[in-house]
Amino acid sequence: MVDVDLVFVVLQKNGKYKLIGQSEGLNMTGDEGNSGAAPGDERGMTLTFTGIENFKVNEFFDTDVATTTALLDSYLLPAA
């Protein structure tokens, strides 16, 4: 598994961003994969992350979704 503490910025369906793992980090505790041997079979990965926070998770940005998305995109490296 991953041997580092991770922090996620999560976009919820309601358009709000949350910062998860800020105080104690998250750890990957499980991974499962399916290759999809036959047409129509499930393919992909399921990753499980766990963590404990010392405080209530708050909204990460207090801006509209378009502004927040543009800011987060600016932090990402361009695709190779």
What pLDDT score does 78 carry?
A: 63
Rounded to 5 degrees, φ, ψ at 26 are -115, 150
Please state the domain extents for the chain: 8-75
Q: Say if residue 29's pLDDT is above 80.
A: yes
pLDDT in tens, 52-71: 888 887 777 777 778 877 87
| Prediction pTM value | 0.59
19 phi and psi, to 5 degrees? -100, 115
Whole-angstrom Cα distance, residue 48 to residue 26? 10
> Which whole number is the average pLDDT over 19-34?
85
**Alpha-carbon separation of residue 21 from 5, 46, 57, 59 (angstroms):** 8, 19, 9, 13
CA atoms within 13 A on the CB side of 80: 0
Q: Region 39-61: what's the mean pLDDT?
A: 82
